[in-house]
Amino acid sequence: MATTMHRLQISLPEWQVQFLTERAQQEGVSIAKLIRRLVERENEARADLGSADALWELAGLAEDHGPLRDGTPVSERPELYLTGATAGSAHSKPPRTE
């Protein structure tokens, strides 16, 4: 599938032009192709970041009305849920394992 290209003229500081020139030479591509690659990488990175943001939006949406272990939520004492331990209060030390 052919992509429609648009001509764009921009002004850059000298150091950016030098950076692009050197990088394009290293990669064996034109400055235009290098810029297209950099824009594509940025676009993909933002899409990946958006996926992570979407997961965080789900955090806390559900409520767990199930029983607590010794009245303690999993966020405070996950070992109670992982080991099935029921002894002790929310402020006691976790069980020792040797």
Has residue 62 been placed in a domain? no
Q: What share of the chain in percent tops pLDDT 90? A: 40
Has residue 1 been placed in a domain? no
Q: Which domain holds residue 44?
A: 13-54
Q: Mean pLDDT over all residues of the chain?
A: 77
Stretch 32-54: mean pLDDT: 84
Has residue 29 been placed in a domain? yes
Has residue 66 been placed in a domain? no
Q: How many domains does the chain have?
A: 1
Element (H, E) at 22: helix 14-27
Has residue 49 been placed in a domain? yes
Output the pTM of the full model.
Answer: 0.49
User: What was the pLDDT predicted at 21?
Assistant: 96
State the Cα–Cα distance between residues 6 and 39, nearest whole angstrom.
14
Has residue 97 been placed in a domain? no
CB neighbour class for 7 (10 Å; exposed up to 12, middle 13-18, buried from 19): exposed
